[in-house]
């Protein structure tokens, strides 16, 4: 009986210790997003943006970003680098990295998440975090032309009825508050 109590107490203490130690580490949130744009009829540019957020309780040191999921036989680097490093990322801080690729190969491409490695000040072992995945990219696919005023239609559909009611109520209040013109002309005739 005494041994089982001691074992339970030891397990509870070790669980609490794990929670405390885990709370005092950097927690990296890495978001990867990609946008496609036609550069020429047979060339498409891929803009990759990766945002890193330190949501932990301590600073992350020697932060390195590696995104090597872009094969050189399909993509060529136009600007930026597919890897980058920062000396540190403080608690609550965020950094961004962007690079542009170009592809002349048509078809679906399935990219992997980017890899982020960092150190905790007290530990020499590198920690790892992975970015969010990207959806499959349909390179050089035929797309419907972008509608220029699609946002205006959505805005009108969402707020049109409210705007109409406010306009009617505002007009009614204006009629009640503003002086009428016939009353003004009668008073001016009486003065003469």
pLDDT value, residue 67? 96
Backbone angles phi, psi at 9, to 5 degrees: -65, -40
Q: What percent of the chain has pLDDT above 90?
A: 46
Same domain, residue pair 59 and 81: yes
Tell me how far apart the alpha carbons of residues 152 and 129 are, in angstroms, rounded to a whole number.
40
Residue 93 in this model has a pLDDT that exceeds 90? yes
Which tokens is 17 given?
């210790």
Q: pLDDT averaged over the chain?
A: 80
Which tokens is 24 given?
């005092």
Average of per-residue pLDDT across 105-131? 89
Residue 175 in this model has a pLDDT that exceeds 60? yes
Q: Is 129 helix (H, G, I), strand (E, B) or coil?
A: strand
Same domain, residue pair 52 and 107: yes
Question: What is the number of structural domains in the chain?
Answer: 2
Same domain, residue pair 127 and 168: no
Same domain, residue pair 112 and 182: no
Residue 191 in this model has a pLDDT that exceeds 60? no
pLDDT value, residue 140? 84
Residue 107: domain span: 24-139
């Amino acid at each position: 009986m005494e041994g089982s109590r001691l074992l339970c107490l030891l397990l509870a203490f070790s669980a609490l210790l794990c929670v405390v130690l885990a709370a005092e580490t950097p927690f990296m949130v890495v978001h990867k997003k990609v946008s496609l744009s036609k550069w020429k009829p047979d060339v498409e540019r891929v803009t990759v943006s990766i945002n890193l957020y330190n949501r932990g309780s301590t600073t992350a040191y020697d932060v390195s970003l590696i995104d090597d999921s872009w094969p050189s036989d399909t993509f060529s680097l136009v600007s930026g680098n597919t890897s980058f490093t920062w000396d540190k990322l403080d608690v609550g801080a965020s950094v961004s990295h962007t690079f542009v690729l170009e592809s002349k190969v048509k078809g679906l491409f399935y990219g992997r998440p980017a890899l982020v490695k960092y150190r905790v000040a007290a530990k020499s072992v590198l920690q790892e975090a992975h970015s969010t995945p990207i959806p499959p990219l349909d390179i050089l696919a035929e797309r419907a032309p972008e509608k220029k005023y699609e946002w205006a239609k959505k805005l009108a559909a969402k707020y049109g009825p409210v705007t109409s009611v406010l306009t009617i109520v505002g007009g009614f209040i204006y009629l009640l508050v503003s002086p009428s013109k016939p009353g003004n002309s009668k008073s001016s005739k009486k003065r003469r």
